Structure 1
Amino acid sequence: MNGYEHSDPFDEGMLPVSSIHRLHYEQYGNPDGKPVVYLHGGPGGHTQKSNTAYFNPDIYRVVLFDQRGTGKSQPAPEIRENTTPNLVADIEALRVHLNIPKWHLVYGGSWGSTLALLYAQAYPDVVVSLLVLGIFTTRKLEMDWFRGPIGATTIFPEAFETFVNHLPPEERGDLTGNYYKRLTSDDHATRVAAAREWNRWDLSIGSLTTNEETFRPLDDEAWSVPHAVLEAHYGMNDFWLEDGQILKEENLAKIRHIPATIIQGRYDMVCPPRTAWELHKGLPKSRLIWIPGAGHTPQEPGTRMKLLEACDYHASQDFGM
Structure 2
Amino acid sequence: MSSPGSPNLIFPAVDSLQSGALDVGDGHTIQYEQCGNPAGLPVVVLHGGPASGCSPRMRQLFDPTLFRVVLFDQRGCGRSTPRGECAHNTTLELVADIERLRAHLGIGRWLVAGGSWGAALGVAYCAAHREACLGAVLRGIFLTGRDDLDWFFHAAPLAPEAWSRLTSFVPEAAHGRVGEWLFDAASGPDEALAVEAVRHWIAWEQALDSGQPQALPQLDDAATQAALDKYRVQAHYLRRECFLGEDELLRRAVGLFDLPVAIVHGRQDRVCRPSNALRLHEAIGGSRLKLVAGAGHNPFDAPMLAAFAGALAHFAAQGDFSGWADGDPA
* TM-score normalised according to structure 1 size: 0.90
Mapped to 2, the partners of 1:298 and 1:237 lie a distance apart of 26
Mapped to 2, the partners of 1:293 and 1:3 lie a distance apart of 16
Instruction: Summarize deviations over 1:256-277 as a string: whole Å, max 9, x none.
Output: 1211111111121111111101
Contact 2:14 2:36 in 1 (8 A): yes
Contact 2:135 2:320 in 1 (8 A): yes
Tell me by how many angstroms 1:114 deviates. Answer: 0.6
2:185 is matched with: 182
Moved more, 199-208 or 124-133: 199-208
- Of residues 139, 159, 172, the one that matches 1:169 is 172
Contact 1:6 1:29 in 2 (8 A): no
Mapped to 1, the partners of 2:196 and 2:243 lie a distance apart of 27
- Of residues 39, 52, 59, the one that matches 1:45 is 52
Instruction: Summarize deviations over 1:278-321 as a string: whole Å, max 9, x none.
Output: 1112223222111112221112121112112222222222349x
Tell me by how many angstroms 1:68 deviates. Answer: 1.0
Instruction: Summarize deviations over 1:54-107 as a string: whole Å, max 9, x none.
Output: 22222211000011111100111111111111111111111111111111x100
Aligned residue identity for 1:82: N
- Of residues 203, 208, 212, the one that matches 1:205 is 208
- Of residues 26, 29, 38, the one that matches 1:19 is 26
2:326 is matched with: none
Contact 1:207 1:268 in 2 (8 A): no
* Sequence identity percentage: 35
Mapped to 1, the partners of 2:152 and 2:191 lie a distance apart of 27
Mapped to 1, the partners of 2:163 and 2:41 lie a distance apart of 43
**Residue 36 of structure 2 is aligned to residue 29 of structure 1:** yes
Mapped to 2, the partners of 1:117 and 1:217 lie a distance apart of 36
Contact 2:41 2:316 in 1 (8 A): yes
Matches within 5 A, 1:1-321: 1=2, 2-103=9-110, 105-148=111-154, 152-208=155-211, 220-221=223-224, 223-248=226-251, 251-319=252-320
Tell me by how many angstroms 1:26 deviates. Answer: 0.4
Q: Helix, strand or coil: the match of 1:129?
A: strand
Contact 2:159 2:213 in 1 (8 A): no
Instruction: Summarize deviations over 1:108-143 as a string: whole Å, max 9, x none.
Output: 110010101111111111111110111011122222
Tell me by how many angstroms 1:236 deviates. Answer: 1.3
Mapped to 1, the partners of 2:171 and 2:301 lie a distance apart of 35
2:325 is matched with: none
Q: Helix, strand or coil: the match of 2:16?
A: coil
Mapped to 2, the partners of 1:217 and 1:86 lie a distance apart of 34
Contact 1:131 1:261 in 2 (8 A): yes
Instruction: Summarize deviations over 1:226-277 as a string: whole Å, max 9, x none.
Output: 33222211111121124411212xx333211211111111121111111101
Q: Give the paired residue count.
A: 312
Mapped to 2, the partners of 1:27 and 1:311 lie a distance apart of 17
Q: Helix, strand or coil: the match of 1:62?
A: strand
* TM-score normalised according to structure 2 size: 0.87
Q: Helix, strand or coil: the match of 1:190?
A: helix
Tell me by how many angstroms 1:45 deviates. Answer: 0.3
Cα distance change of structure 1 residues 25 and 126 upon mapping to structure 2, 3 Å threshold: same
Mapped to 2, the partners of 1:208 and 1:174 lie a distance apart of 22
Mapped to 1, the partners of 2:218 and 2:79 lie a distance apart of 17
Contact 1:199 1:224 in 2 (8 A): no
Aligned residue identity for 1:113: A
Moved more, 180-189 or 113-122: 180-189
Moved more, 33-42 or 11-20: 11-20
Ranges in structure 2 where 5+ consecutive residues have no aligned partner? 3-8, 322-330
Aligned residue identity for 2:244: L
Q: Helix, strand or coil: the match of 1:146?
A: helix
Ranges in structure 1 where 5+ consecutive residues have no aligned partner? none
Aligned residue identity for 1:286: S
Contact 2:149 2:179 in 1 (8 A): no
